[in-house]
A and B are shown apart, each in its own frame.
Chain A
Amino acid sequence: MSNPKKPHITVMRSQLSRARGLGSGQAGVGHWWAERASAVALVPLSGWFVIQVFRLAGASQPEVAKWGARPLNTTMMLSLVILTFYHTQLGLQVIIDDYVHGKAHLPAGLLMKGIVFLLGLFGTVSVLKLALAGSSRGRIAAG
Chain B
Amino acid sequence: MVEFRLPKNSTVGKGRIFTATPGATNVKNFRIYRWSPDDDKNPVVDTYEIDLDKIGPMVLDALIHIKNDVDSTLTFRRSCREGICGSCAMNIAGENTLACLKPIRDIEGDIAIYPLPHMPVIKDLVPDLDGAYAQLRSIDPWLKSDTAPPPDAERRQSIEERAELDGMWECILCFCCSTSCPSYWWNGDRYLGPATLLAAYRWIADSRDEHAGDRLDALEDPLKLYACRTIMNCTQTCPKGLNPAKAIGRIKELQLERKA
A9–B255 Cα distance when bound, in Å, is: 39
Given A18-B189, A98-B187: A28 touches B134 (CB 8 Å cut-off):
no
Q: Which of A29-37, A51-59, A113-121, A124-132 contacts B (4 or more CB under 8 A)?
A: A29-37
How would residues 95 to 108 of chain A score, 1 for a CB under 8 Å from any chain B CB and 0 otherwise?
00111011000000
Whether a CB of chain A sits under 8 angstroms from the CB of B219 is yes
Whether a CB of chain B sits under 8 angstroms from the CB of A16 is yes
A97–B224 Cα distance when bound, in Å, is: 12
A18–B138 Cα distance when bound, in Å, is: 10
A137–B218 Cα distance when bound, in Å, is: 59
A16 touches B134 (CB 8 A): yes
A29 touches B229 (CB 8 A): no
Give chain A residues whose Cβ lies under 8 Å from the Cβ of B134.
14-16, 18-19
Chain A contributes a number of interface residues (CB within 8 A of B) equal to 23
Separation in Å of the B203 CB from the closest CB of chain A? 16
Give chain A residues whose Cβ lies under 8 Å from the Cβ of B223.
25, 97
B135 touches A28 (CB 8 A): no
A18–B190 Cα distance when bound, in Å, is: 9
Determine the interface band of chain B, counting residues with CB < 8 A from chain A: 20 to 34
- Name the residue on A nearest B189 (C-beta): A18
A99 touches B133 (CB 8 A): no
Give chain B residues whose Cβ lies under 8 Å from the Cβ of A29.
220, 226, 252, 255-256, 259
Whether a CB of chain B sits under 8 angstroms from the CB of A2 is no
Give chain A residues whose Cβ lies under 8 Å from the Cβ of B1.
101-102
Give chain A residues whose Cβ lies under 8 Å from the Cβ of B135.
19
How would residues 6 to 49 of chain A score, 1 for a CB under 8 Å from any chain B CB and 0 otherwise?
00000000111011110111111101110000000000000000
B137 touches A19 (CB 8 A): yes
Partner of B130, one of A15, A20, A27: A15
